[in-house]
Amino acid sequence: MTTLQVRCIARSRQAPGPATCLQLLPRGCQPVLLDSSGDVGFSTLAWAPDKSLHGHLQPNPAASGDSNRCLADSDPAQQLEDICSGEHWHFEAGLPKAGIGWLGWFGFECGHAYESFPWNPPYPDAWPDFHFGRYRHAMVWMPDGEVLLLHAQIDGGVDDRDATLQQFETLMAFGADTVAQSCSGPKLQPEINGQTFRQAVERLRQWIGEGELYQANLSHVLSGAFHEDARHLYQALRQSQPTAMSAYWEDADGRVLLSHSPERFLQVRGTELLSQPIKGTAARGQDVEEDQTIAAKLAADEKEVAELTMIVDMARNDLGRVADVGAVQVDSAGDVEAFSTLFHRTAKVRARWQPQLGLARLFAATFPPASITGAPKVRALNAISELEGRARGPYCGCLGYWIPGEHPHGDFSVLIRTATLSNQQLRLAVGAGIVWDSDPQREWDETRLKGRYLTG
């Protein structure tokens, strides 16, 4: 058993903002910013992990006669569960259980560990399929404006607070008035043309008409060169696209994730589970009156209502695979939620489970997220993998934190509205849920709308 005592070792009400502190951190320190950029909750900035876990999944032909549809050779969630097995994180009374612990992400291809669907060529630039680090210190911006410096000391280990305090004092010396730099967004172009996407939509509609599936999430990629500072770009997007589950992740090799996801995949609070799937999109209007009209239309749109209803049923089913009997409930089947440039329909599904089942069991039941696959999940995974013909990489996976123990805490977003940056190439995948009455041109237009926040 390894006990990590989490204490607040410094605090300030004169701290720079999260994006400013991110920019001030030294290169190579592998920062992770979990950012409530809509100012509706905690924002946390962690850096300098003392342990890491990352890797690539490979097909395991021994598990199946079809080498292109076999399961993966390992389970990344099980690897994370194993590496933090025996850790007990003890938090000083009154401290938030957030932004510290094991931080990172599972990419979409981690779904190969749980479901059988075709393998595509690896994501460009040798991106791993998953990446987590153990972060024992983090800054936490509280809702009341105070900033806490949390540090987890390993019982019996060397007291290593000094370096953390020194970094915090360096950041505090800049003062609360320090403003983060920003830059203009990149120029991105679709990697496929609209006709190719529309043909894929028609193919899905054919399969749906033949009764093979009800819905599938189809995506494509916008990409382009980007030579500026990714941390500066994050600040620009933070101002124009605030969401409660924004995130910035950077590894030691300079790979970057810039995420402005509005969607929660899975929150764990001991025995309580929460998922908040999103389906249904409409652009914001020019004024309050137009906004009201658009929101009312989205709320009554039969296609969008049906689409989210199917995803809610999938989320209930997924959570039901690990939940206590009769302990899954739908708090909301779909409410229209306003964001800076879009309206979305968002649902809320809760469940109660036994944490001793473990993280691997939880992810085997729920991953990949229902909202970005389709219904039924396995057939949808096969359909979109075949039609897209590419690895999704981090896109449509999940990102967040995991604090293990008898009463685990965790929170993971769905990695949509998420760009990757590596080798000065920025990629943004955008998708749409396809059902029988989908209009191919409308779906293409919806995907372009979803990329507008980044491309301008």
Q: Residues with Cβ < 8 Å from 300, sequence gap 6 or more?
A: none
DSSP structure class, residue 369:
P
Only one residue has tokens 């779906």, namely 443
CA distances for 408 relative to 89, 247, 401, 402, 405, angstroms = 9, 21, 11, 7, 5
Q: Which residues pair with 91 in a beta bridge?
A: 6
Which residues lie below 8 Å from residue 228, measured CB to CB, with a gap of 6+?
183
- The gap between the terminal CA atoms of the chain, to the nearest Å, is 51
Active site residue 348: no
Provide the CA 412 distance to its chain's centre, in angstroms.
Answer: 6
CB 204 within 8 A of CB 436: no
H helix or E strand, kind and range, residue 377: helix 377-388
Catalytic residue among 263, 304, 307, 446: 263
Angle at 283 between CA 450 and CA 267, to 5 degrees: 60
Q: How far is CA 210 from CA 198, 213, 270, 307, 438, in A?
A: 19, 8, 43, 18, 15
Q: Which of 372, 442, 376 is CA-nearest to residue 214?
A: 376
Determine the 3-state secondary structure of 104 from DSSP.
strand
State how far the Cα of 164 lies from the Cα of 166, in Å rounded to an integer.
5
Which H/E stretch holds residue 362? helix 359-366
SS3 call for 113? helix
Active site residue 263: yes
Catalytic entry in 97, 279, 348, 377? 279
Closest CA to 455 of 432, 428, 425, 421: 428
d(CA 312, CA 307): 9
Q: Three-class SS of residue 289?
A: helix
- Nearest-angstrom CA–CA distance, 355 and 330: 21
Q: How far is CA 13 from the centre of its chain?
A: 29
Which sequence positions are flagged as catalytic? 263, 279
